[in-house]
Amino acid sequence: MTALTTRPVARRPRSGWRGFGTLLTTEARLWTRDAGTVFFSLVFATVLLVGVGFAIPGMRDPITDAPPPWQGLTPIATFAPVVVAAAIATPALTTMPVYFATFREKGVLRRLSTTPMRPQGIVVAHLLINLAAVLLGSLVALGVGELVFGLPAPRSVGTVALAFVLAVTSMFALGTLVAARAPRASTASAVGTLIYFPLLFLSGLWTPGPIMPDVVREVGQYTPLGAAAQAMTAGWFEDGVPTLQLVVMAAWTAVLLPLGVKLFRWT
């Protein structure tokens, strides 16, 4: 008699992205319940722009002692691209990493690891949520700035839009790397802040437009936030394409985003 043998039936692997829509909806709902995160993502840029415009003397007076394209502009107008860059950097480095680290510290990520969803799913979900929030917050700030200060329209909308997208990807790639490994919220906050303020300085937050020192400009153009502010400034007020700054942001994204996603751990 010939023995009958049976082969095990190969099971179809479960998709690691099944249920991503539910995860995205749930995380977006939780995101809106965090007042601090909502403020820094949606309101901070507007508060910063309006506050600087009214608190610092001369910010609304036309520039008369600078060469084109700065002559005739107001200082607050030259500040607008830097404010948009700051609006991107703030949630990327100060709120998103702390959000993930808090989840990791409280064991929420460990419980989520028992589900079929890949760890990368929650990273992608928050990148999408923050992208939408930063875009909305920037549009609100620029809309208010145009109404209050009469901000000029960009000379090259395409250049500004491309610089904005690359600024978001490069800065959130950096934030994702911090979030991937920080074991506690305090650690994420300390590391994020340590990176955040030097990048703000190099972006020209204190020395925007024509008053930026050459050394700050030279160093800043190789950082993701400095390159973002310079590229958006070039698209806003100048002619030509800021190729170096765009390439710098793309390079930061290409290196940091895959690294951050790969290193992300539940515990």
Tens-place pLDDT, residues 55-83: 988 889 998 887 888 888 999 999 999 99
The pLDDT of residue 117 is 66
How do the domains of the chain map onto residue ranges? Answer: 20-263
Q: Is the pLDDT assigned to residue 37 strictly greater than 90?
A: no
What's the average model confidence in pLDDT over 247-251?
A: 97
Q: Cα dihedral angle (209, 211, 213, 218), rounded to 10 degrees? A: 10
Instruction: Please name the residues in contact with 4: beta carbons below 8 A apart, sequence gap of 6 or more.
Output: none
The alpha carbon of 251 is separated from its chain's Cα centroid by a whole number of angstroms, namely 15
d(CA 230, CA 78): 11
Q: Is the pLDDT assigned to residue 5 strictly greater than 60?
A: no
Q: Which residue has the tokens 């400034």?
A: 233
What's the average model confidence in pLDDT over 156-173?
A: 94
Give percent helix, percent strand, percent coil of the chain, each to the nearest 5: 70, 0, 30
d(CA 153, CA 146): 9
Mean pLDDT lowest for which of 26-40, 107-121, 184-198, 228-242? 107-121
Instruction: Please name the residues in contact with 173: beta carbons below 8 A apart, sequence gap of 6 or more.
Output: 224, 252, 253, 255, 256, 257, 260
CB 80 within 8 A of CB 142: yes
Tens-place pLDDT, residues 111-143: 777 766 666 677 788 888 988 999 999 999 999
Token readout for 246 is 């765009």
How is residue 71 annotated by DSSP?
T
Which residue, 124, 126, 93, is CA-closest to 225? 93
Give 100 or 120, the one with higher predicted confidence: 100
Mean pLDDT lowest for which of 70-79, 96-105, 120-129, 180-189? 120-129
- Amino acid symbol at 226: G
Token readout for 90 is 């703030």
Q: What is the largest CA-CA distance in the chain?
A: 103
The pLDDT of residue 4 is 47
Tens-place pLDDT, residues 15-24: 567 778 888 8
Residues in the chain: 267
Coil, helix or strand at residue 158: helix
Q: Is the pLDDT assigned to residue 171 strictly greater than 80?
A: yes
pLDDT above 90 covers a percentage of the chain that reads 52
The pLDDT of residue 21 is 84
CB 180 within 8 A of CB 192: no
- Write b or e for each residue in 162-175: b if 16 or more Cβ atoms lie within 10 A of its Cβ, otherwise e: bbbebbbbbbbbbb
The pLDDT of residue 240 is 86
As a whole number, the mean pLDDT across the chain is 87
